[in-house]
Structure 1
């Protein structure tokens, strides 16, 4: 089992890689024949607003601590790291979209670098567009809200397992996520299921 410190280091490294991919206008995990479906559009303004607040706070702290250079340098490093972290989270959401791979028969539901749920198409009972702004914590359900809302619900015939941030295995039978083009994602999944001989209710 990977230790918590190792997972944190891996998490930070993946955020930095996401920044590079974002700058290079590349995406992760969308191979030939697969289709990516973004979900970050709704959070962009909020994330950049948060980054701006962090920058303003950094300037304010620099003024307040100008007479304590040692403390100022430590706080400056932390402030810069915070800005990079916030922008990295948004970059990770942009470059790691949901992925539908009809040839492999898999739907990957992702959330930045934190969550990557691989759902075999044959295990999907139903997929539908469903707007939700409130989500209760229920065993066996995974809610990956963006801007406090989800727009796609996937119900499974049997559970799938994924790893949480700290490496715990969790089984889920219902996955809710957000997609910028929720209708397009639902239709693409239905077509992929039909193409593999699965009846669509």
Structure 2
């Protein structure tokens, strides 16, 4: 519900003045708004059906309104908590449910890599944060980092795949922060 307040105020969480915010909610917006519409129609329909039963009507109205605000809040969390590229590293997020900090020295490479992951066959050591069943950025790490889920489940990951509304710009922002890699001479980070 905090995200709804941030969204109404057009603010973001955890994005500093020198940071680059990388949004990822655009692809899920049609589904989120469609669900909200269905929940509103259901709220109105149930209100008419239970008008003769005031107690049941009030209970269902409160539950239905909570469902509408919950669906809006889940989308607002994705809008107000974007991925963040900053001086110290990259912050990869999934709404309010996951917030993973990756220090720059742990990032070996960042590249545009459009994928449609199979949620039924997850890869060991790979964190996939798909939106609309796709990821577009792959971050290869030099060493594992620990991702902690909302319920406290800890997972060691060496590769992070996530979605972004503008993945090529996000990859450029990450690569601009990475030190220039030396491969036997002058070189520059790859943009993929």
* TM-score (structure 1 length as normaliser): 0.86
The question of 1:167 aligning with 2:148 is answered: no
Name 2:142's counterpart in structure 1.
157
The answer as to whether partners of 1:122 and 1:198 remain within 8 angstroms in 2 is no
Unaligned runs of 5+ in 1: 1-15
1:74 pairs with 53, 56, 59, which one? 59
Structure ranking higher in helix proportion:
1
How far did 1:171 drift? 1.2
2:4 pairs with 19, 26, 31, which one? 19
Runs of 4+ in 1 over 2 A off after TM superposition: 197-201
1:160 and 1:128 mapped to 2: Cα distance?
19
RMSD (CA atoms): 1.3
Aligned length: 182
Name 1:110's counterpart in structure 2.
93
How far did 1:198 drift? 4.7
Name 1:9's counterpart in structure 2.
none
Secondary structure at 1:113 match in 2: coil
* TM-score (structure 2 length as normaliser): 0.90
Secondary structure at 2:158 match in 1: strand
The answer as to whether partners of 2:90 and 2:103 remain within 8 angstroms in 1 is yes
How far did 1:169 drift? 1.9
